Amino acid sequence: MIRAYAPIALLRARPGNHLPGLRGEGLIRFATGLSTLRRVARPATPRSPTNVGVMTSTEQPASSVPTGGTVTKAVIPAAGMGTRFLPATKATPKEMLPVVDKPAIQYVVEEATRAGLRDVLMVTGRNKAALEDHFDRHWELERALEAKGDKVRLARVRKSTDLGNIHYVRQGEPLGLGHAVLCAVDHVGNHPFAVLLGDDLIDARDHLLEAMIAVREAKGGSVIALMEVPRESVSMYGCAAIDPGSRDDADGSVVRVTGLVEKPDPADAPSNLAVIGRYILDPSIFKILAKTPPGRGNEIQLTDALQECAASSAPGGGVHGVIFRGRRYDTGDRLDYLKAVVRLAVDHRELGSDFSSWLTGFVAERDSAAQDSPTS
């Protein structure tokens, strides 16, 4: 079998790149960075369902077919230092920590490409070279596996290199999520695009991103993913205010967002709808971000820019939310990461049965030991 690959091009960004179309106070100066482009030719695949209720249902089987439309690019911010996971992340990017048998970042890229977003930009920072290596070819390893006739492991190694066209740009300074998105302006241009945050993994059996793309195609503007959380937990998230009369789709899973509040006090929260790490953004967001001052944590907050979008009636304005009721795995801190590993492991096609049996026995053994231990 002949595998054809286009040449690898390394593009050095010039100092002082600017946001097109802005002058004066709107002018944004971007940090110098390294942009790496790799292209792999692959055949197109047919469309997936576009009903929002169906695509966010937990009863749907896994699907690898994309939804068509004008959204073709995905941006994945991956410049964080991963301080919650120290010392594990001292020399290893947090995005490369394994979740069962592949790094967390691969789940996110696979989700994007399943939705038809094969043009992926990762916004990285210092000490993130492992991300580029993971999605690149490893000729020596592949040849060693071929020589052994190990087709199973060879397929696993090649899968990450065959996902899509992966690009990289550096975020020169840690100035927040809004700034990371702004770093994508030259790559995205005047096109709607998806933003996927690596701390949130969405189960392959659910179709959240496809549903959001369908809403964008139907209603325009920007679309955010929402999740119902207990009222006492809302202070951990950005929170959405919605128009109660705007609920759309058969199960009311599409709403019009009227405002956003970053990590509000539960008593002041406008709803229990938390923003999770999936966005479809209109390109007009770039001009808004360019003039958004630093907010919470002295960082440029994407939430602040979306707040302005929600109140805007200009072209590209307006924000809708898709309420997700499917399977989401949080890897944002150590405890949630461990929970995500266990939940994905018990459903793993190869390991799930044996791991579930062991886990059941382990929990029973712990419970028995706790009952037998003397009480103080």
Mean pLDDT, residues 234-260 taken together: 84
Total number of domains constituting the chain: 1
What pLDDT does 297 receive? Answer: 79
DSSP H helix total and E strand total for the chain? 12, 15
Task: With a cut of 90, say whether residue 146 has pLDDT above it.
Answer: yes
pLDDT-derived band at 100, boundaries 50, 70, 90: very high
Whether the CA torsion 220, 224, 225, 229 is positive or negative: it is negative
pLDDT at residue 328 is higher than 50:
yes
308 has pLDDT over 70: yes
Is residue 25 within 8 A of residue 170, CB to CB? The reply is no
Q: How far is CA 242 from CA 34, 104, 235, 311, in A?
A: 40, 32, 17, 12
Say what the pTM is.
Answer: 0.80
**pLDDT reading at 32 higher than 50:** no
Averaged pLDDT of the chain: 82
* pLDDT value of position 250: 66
User: What would the two tokens of residue 116 be?
Assistant: 């038809």
Mean pLDDT across 88-101: 93
Residue 86 resides in a domain: yes
Q: What pLDDT sits at residue 375?
A: 60
CB within 8 A of 305, min separation 6: which ones?
178, 285, 288, 289, 292
Give the pLDDT score at 90. Answer: 92
- DSSP state at residue 18: B
Query: Backbone dihedral region of 305: left (phi > 0), alpha (psi from -120 to 50 degrees) or beta?
Result: alpha
Report the residue count for the chain.
Answer: 376
Task: Write down the residue that tokens 């967001």 correspond to.
Answer: 285
Q: Please tell me the predicted confidence (pLDDT) of residue 67.
A: 34
Q: Are 82 and 128 in contact (CB under 8 A)?
A: no
93: preceding bond cis by omega (within 30 degrees) = no
| DSSP structure class, residue 46 | P
Which of 296, 290, 303 lies closest to 222 in space, CA to CA? Answer: 303
Residue 360 lies in a domain: no
pLDDT tens, residue by residue, 45-54: 434 444 444 4
Asked if the model's pLDDT at residue 303 lies above 70, the reply is yes
The pLDDT assigned to 237 comes to: 86
| Model pLDDT, residue 340 | 95
The CATH number for 93's domain is 3.90.550.10
Say if residue 81 is exposed, middle or buried (CB neighbours under 10 Å; 0-12, 13-18, 19+).
middle
Give one DSSP letter per residue of 296-335, joined into a string. Answer: GGGS--HHHHHHHHHH--STT--EEEEE--S-EEE-SSHH
The whole-angstrom separation of Cα 181 and Cα 300 is 10
Q: Quick one: average pLDDT of 75-101?
A: 93
pLDDT value of residue 54: 47
Question: pLDDT at position 173, please?
Answer: 87
Asked if the structure places residue 307 within a domain, the reply is yes
| Distance between CA atoms of residues 204 and 329, nearest Å | 11
Least confident of 26-40, 118-132, 249-263: 26-40
Residue 356 token pair: 């579930």
For range 305-320, the mean pLDDT: 90
Residue type at 40 in one-letter notation: V
pLDDT digits (tens, 9 = 90+) for 192-209: 999 999 999 999 999 999
In whole angstroms, what is the distance from residue 132 CA to residue 36 CA?
Answer: 8
pLDDT tens figures, 170-184: 998 889 999 999 999
* Averaged pLDDT, 342-350: 94
For the segment 2-14, the average pLDDT, to the nearest whole number, is 33
Closest CA to 40 of 186, 161, 149, 138: 161
Domain, as residue range, for 143 = 9-332
Lowest mean pLDDT among 17-21, 273-277, 362-366: 17-21
- Whether residue 200 is contained in a domain is answered as yes
- What torsion, rounded to 10 degrees, do the Cα atoms 110, 112, 113, 118 define? -130
Given a cut of 50, whether residue 59 has pLDDT beyond it is: no
pLDDT tens, residue by residue, 119-136: 999 999 988 999 999 999
Judged against a pLDDT cut of 50, whether residue 20 lies above it is answered with no
The mean pLDDT value for 323-347 works out to 93
- What band does 117 get if pLDDT is binned at 50, 70 and 90? very high
In a domain, residue 1? The reply is no
Whether residue 40 is contained in a domain is answered as: yes
For 230-256, what is the mean pLDDT?
83
Domain assignment present for residue 261? The answer is yes
C-alpha span between 369 and 347 (Å, rounded):
27
In a domain, 281, yes or no: yes
